[in-house]
Amino acid sequence: MAKPISIEVWNPSGKYRVVSTKSMPGTRWINLLTANDCRLEICTEKKTILSVDDILALIGDRCDGVIGQLTEEWGEVLFSALKRAGGTAFSNMAVGYNNVDVEAANRNAIAVGNTPGVLTETTAELAAALSVAAARRIVEADQFMRAGLYDGWLPHLFVGNLLKGQTVGVIGAGRIGSAYARMMIEGFKMNLIYYDLYQSTRLEKFVTAYGQFLKANGEQPVTWKRAATMEDVLREADVISLHPVLDKTTYHLINPERLAIMKKEAVLVNASRGPVIDEVALVEHLKANPMFRVGLDVFEDEPYMKPGLADMKNAVVVPHIASASKWTREGMATLAALNVLGKIKGYPVWGNPNMVEPFLKEDATPPAACPSIVNAKQLGLPSSKL
């Protein structure tokens, strides 16, 4: 018999059984579920990534909804099991949901929630931090210092790239890409080149207005350009940050050919999804071009890095922490819980998933709505009029 999976139970007499595959930051999400008649079971297994079998065991034969994580494979097996257990709701505690087979959820009439709107600035800040860390060789310098190698100031010691006046390239100028662009433009007075299928009028207006402000103050104005092709961004930009969603069209978007057209001293940042970069090709490129630098939050085969990457001094690597600020992670937990609770209660779906502040006010009762259900249309779920 399979080993029983360890859980912690809140409000054991609750009418609805909700499972969370992980403990999540904050307590508001727990309080909201338990105050609304949910029996909450939080998985306390020590292993980081749960298997499909582990999650099947958690779902059991009666379960109304599950809060899951981006490391889990949510497909036909889990959605059909959730349906058989009487469930109607699943929410990823993430904005991205490339780990979820939404078609399978549709077939099983399971609503799929995600958590947009709370991680925009936090994720953009990490992408900005990686950009600066890579450009100014912060990690290499830190390691050098801790190794006791610093024996005095030297003109050549850890010389990196100045950002001011250079060009920042953004591929995918949606919420996070635009927030990142603004940080780099406002913070470092960089010029912008971006590629997106959609025009980012707000971003363009911001750069124009900021450029006018700088000019009026006797400074060099910043400029913007919407590129006709992704290649134009790769050729022209000094720092490039990737912000597309991962799908068939963006898998290995950065490949050997595209790496080859980038500037030899460019900085490439990825805080979107690992498979957007061909990581084997990237390692080769880093080896051949020591002045080319990367800042990576995500990896092709998480939690692993492709061979050789860990040895590259021109790579800054962090373990998928772009959304890891306290406010954001607590907000994500709250939104994921409210997606599941809202569906169980038969609430409609919030009209604008990017304007989720009303759900996040600490001491207020959240709106009677699901904050963000990605397959609301396919399931014919009603929209909130609130």
Residues belonging to the active site: 273, 302, 320
Least gap, CB of 189 to ligand GLV (angstroms): 29
Taking the least distance from each CB to ligand GLV, the nearer of 87 and 331 is: 331
> CA–CA separation, 255 vs 258, rounded Å?
5
Taking the least distance from each CB to ligand GLV, the nearer of 319 and 382 is: 319
The secondary structure of 9-31 as a DSSP string is: EESTT-SEEEEESS--SSSHHHH
Least gap, CB of 28 to ligand GLV (angstroms): 18
Residues in contact with ligand GLV by CB under 6 A are 70, 94-96, 119, 323
Taking the least distance from each CB to ligand GLV, the nearer of 70 and 369 is: 70
Least gap, CB of 138 to ligand GLV (angstroms): 23
Cα–Cα separations (whole angstroms), residue 272 to 198, 228, 251, 321: 18, 22, 12, 11
Give the strand order in the sheet containing 89-92: 7-10, 38-43, 16-20, 65-68, 89-92, 111-113
Least gap, CB of 70 to ligand GLV (angstroms): 6
Please give the backbone phi and psi of residue 344, each rounded to the nearest 5 degrees, phi first.
Answer: -60, -40
Taking the least distance from each CB to ligand GLV, the nearer of 224 and 359 is: 359
> CA–CA separation, 140 vs 313, rounded Å?
6
Least gap, CB of 21 to ligand GLV (angstroms): 15
Least gap, CB of 95 to ligand GLV (angstroms): 4
At 335, which amino acid appears? L
Taking the least distance from each CB to ligand GLV, the nearer of 243 and 343 is: 243
CA-wise closest residue to 188 among 144, 218, 151, 219: 219
> CA–CA separation, 325 vs 119, rounded Å?
9
> CA–CA separation, 40 vs 333, rounded Å?
13
What token pair was written down for 325? 């600020």
Taking the least distance from each CB to ligand GLV, the nearer of 18 and 100 is: 100
β-pairing, 89-92 vs 239-242, is unpaired
Contact 244, 171 (CB under 8 A): yes
